[in-house]
Amino acid sequence: MTDGPLIVQSDKTLLLEIDHDAADDCRKAIAPFAELERSPEHVHTYRLTPLGLWNARAAGHDAEQVVDTLLTFSRYPVPHALLVDVAETMARYGRLRLDKHPTHGLVLTTNDRPVLEEVLRAKKVQGMLGDRIDADTVAVHPSERGNLKQALLKIGWPAEDYAGYVDGEAHAIALDETEWQLRSYQREAAESFWHGGSGVVVLPCGAGKTLVGAAAMAHAQATTLILVTNTVSARQWKDELVRRTSLTEDEIGEYSGAVKEVRPVTIATYQVLTTRRKGAYPHLDLLNARDWGLIVYDEVHLLPAPIFRMTADLQARRRIGLTATLVREDGREGDVFSLIGPKRYDAPWKDIESQGYIAPADCVEVRVTLPDSDRLVYATAEPEERYRLAACTPQKVKVVRDLVDRHAGQPTLVIGQYIEQLDELAAKLDAPVIKGDTSVKERQRLFDAFRSGEIGLLVVSKVANFSIDLPSAEVAIQVSGSFGSRQEEAQRLGRLLRPKSEGKSAHFYTVVSRDTVDADFAQNRQRFLAEQGYAYRIVDAEELGGLSA
């Protein structure tokens, strides 16, 4: 028995004891192939998944290396079956590859003929492959490059894509680092991506993913299409690019519901691309409007299904995905892997936080008790009504007001799901509210005012969940959410994780109703944050007074 920091479990989880002397070395050694699942305070849990192992293969690690790493750092003997499984899984990657053929165009080749035979007989790839060129080579319809990769991943034989990329229309882009510096992890992330060709960079909210995108563009030196979640986010990208790169306002176009500009760098929203009219996507032409050299996907974990289908046709273009988490609520992680690319860079939140790039957060869950009359209403309500009833209890208003008072003078966001509740809160707190029907212009104005400090309190609906930079927010109070979405919790906390002046820590409050589904959902969401290393405290509304600010 050695005294390693790692415990390898037979269910393919790896437990890393982080107080161990060798924990750091071990983390670096296993990071390429194991996915960090949770990182609470003492023991981090990594998981070995086929995707993770294939990611490692894509990065040039082989099975023997993985096995040796596990055996070297493991405190206890490693389960035999797991080692066998690692070797077998990793051996599946690279048996097939997509190549460019001088005469046949795109071809699928193999170094293991039975695998090709198996694939040719698979139902899932029917119709994507053309003629058999020789025993080990088969032609691929160029339009099926993405679909084929998706299908091959599903049947467990992921293909390596060596078919290369088109350069795209050249366009000079440089980072303008006169007043600031690209952080080391941002630089590493952009470089890992560039060497890998295409892929996903995973960084926590507030860690500066926009700049990674900008650095990638500087590598590509080509026209770029940037896909973002919404219009406000598109404007922020534009501002950031103008500020941080050699690009000027005129070179950057916005393609959204309001404006339709196509320029060397175009920022489009998912929404406009997925708008359907008479069963067709009228704005799909944008994807081919220019000879794009790079496509940037912001918030990959939110990528809507139609965009996946479109992305399948864009396999000849370089793609970079940016996200805070690879966890998709719809479980389509495999599609991200096959269509955008393997994970190219990853850093745990806590690490970046300890480097001082994002603010530490103090998370508190406040539990209110429903009055007896409401409990009876709640108990007899239809199941689908229950959450709304519990989440919107008037009891929360008083708690929110207490919290706002406690943090008077600190920029505060109140975040919620239900419009009536938000309206009521806004009225009681005398604060402006931003919701779905607020015009883009009004939103922009309010956000600007919040950023500049004119407004100290803002009530927002879920429109503010993503990609809106409110770096000055120091306190967030969450009153309701979308049924315990973990990813939403991450985003909301992300609003707060921009570095604060004087290293102050951010405050994140969740107000929930005790003994209802609201508390159950809250537990689900809090678990995500606890797993990220943010310890929750839970207090009763009555004891709020005793809480130190």
Partner 1 sequence: MSADLSSVGRVVSTSRDDAGFRSLADQLRAWSDDRLARLLAARLDLTTPAPHDVGHLASRAAVRASISRALDTLTLLELSVLDALVVAGQTTAEDVRTIVHAEPAAVDAALDRLEDLALAWHAVAGLRPLTGVADAMGTGPGVSGLQPRSPEPPPADLVEQRVAELSPRARAMLEHVVSEGGEATTAGSRHTLLPEEASTPAEELLARRLLVPRGSGSRVHAPGEVGLALRGGRTTYDAVDAVPEVATAERGARLVDSAASGAAFEAVRHVELLLELWGTDPPGVLRSGGLGVRDLKAAATLLQVDEPVAALLVEVASAAGLLGSRADAEGDPVWVPTDAFDAWTDAPPAERWLRLVRAWLDMPRLPALVGSRDQSGKGLNPLVPELGSPWIVETRHDVLEALSRLPAGEVLAAGTGLPSLVDHVAWHRPRRPASRADHVAWTVREAGLLGVLGLDGAPAATRALLAGDDAVAVLAPLLPEPVDHVLVQADLTAVAPGPLEAGLARRLALVADVESRGGATTYRFSSSSVRRALDVGWSGAEVHAFLASVSRTPVPQPLTYLVDDAVRTYGTVRIGAAEAFLRADDETALSELLHHPRAGSLGLRRIAPTVLVSTVPVDVLLDRLRELGSAPVLEAADGTVQVVRPDALRARTPRERRPLGAAAASDTARVAQVVTAVRAGDRAATSRPSAASASSSGGPALTPSGALTALREAVETGTTVVIGYVDAHGTVADRMVDPLGVADGSLRAHDHRSDDERSFAVHRIRSVRVVEG
- Return residues touching partner 1 (CB under 8 A): 1-2, 7-11, 13, 15, 17, 38, 40-43, 45, 68, 71, 74-81, 83-84, 515, 526-527, 530-531, 534-538
Nearer to partner 1, 13 or 65 (CB): 13
Nearer to partner 1, 83 or 463 (CB): 83
**C-alpha dihedral, 337 to 342 to 344 to 348, nearest 10°:** 50
Cβ-defined contacts of 462-465 (< 8 Å, 24+): 462/415, 462/417, 462/488, 463/230, 463/232, 463/434, 463/435, 463/436, 463/438, 464/413, 464/415, 464/434, 464/495, 465/415, 465/491, 465/492
Nearer to partner 1, 374 or 515 (CB): 515
Nearer to partner 1, 8 or 225 (CB): 8
Nearer to partner 1, 2 or 184 (CB): 2
Min CB(15)–partner 1 separation in Å: 5
Alpha helix stretches (DSSP H) within 407-485: 419-429, 440-452
CA distance 239 to 243: 6
Min CB(365)–partner 1 separation in Å: 8
Min CB(369)–partner 1 separation in Å: 11
Min CB(539)–partner 1 separation in Å: 8
Min CB(137)–partner 1 separation in Å: 25
Q: Residue 266's closest CA among 316, 211, 307, 228? A: 228
Residue 241 CB burial class (10 angstroms; 0-12, 13-18, ≥19):
buried
Nearer to partner 1, 39 or 150 (CB): 39
At residue 374's C-alpha, the angle toward residues 373 and 380, to 5°, is: 100
Min CB(522)–partner 1 separation in Å: 11
Min CB(55)–partner 1 separation in Å: 22
CA distance 348 to 325: 10
Strand intervals (E) in 11-91: 13-17, 35-38, 43-47
Nearer to partner 1, 84 or 419 (CB): 84
Total residues found in the chain within this entry: 549
Q: Residue 476's closest CA among 390, 392, 404? A: 404
Cα 442 to Cα 268, 290, 447, 471: the distances in Å are 20, 32, 9, 19
Q: HSE-up of 173 (CA within 13 Å, CB side)?
A: 29
Nearer to partner 1, 300 or 522 (CB): 522
Min CB(231)–partner 1 separation in Å: 36
The 10 Å Cβ neighbour count of residue 402 is: 15
Min CB(361)–partner 1 separation in Å: 13
Nearer to partner 1, 420 or 543 (CB): 543
Distance between alpha carbon 22 and the CA centroid of its chain, in Å?
Answer: 29
**C-alpha dihedral, 305 to 308 to 313 to 316, nearest 10°:** 170
Min CB(44)–partner 1 separation in Å: 10
b/e burial code for range 36-65 (CB count within 10 A of at least 16 → b): bebbbeebbbbebbbbbbbbbbbbebebee
Q: Are 522 and 514 in contact (CB under 8 A)?
A: no
Nearer to partner 1, 71 or 455 (CB): 71
At residue 357's C-alpha, the angle toward residues 345 and 199, to 5°, is: 15
Nearer to partner 1, 34 or 302 (CB): 34
Min CB(357)–partner 1 separation in Å: 22
Q: Are 202 and 346 in contact (CB under 8 A)?
A: yes
Min CB(547)–partner 1 separation in Å: 12
Q: Residue 400's closest CA among 376, 374, 434, 427? A: 427
Nearer to partner 1, 39 or 465 (CB): 39
Nearer to partner 1, 38 or 187 (CB): 38
Min CB(104)–partner 1 separation in Å: 32
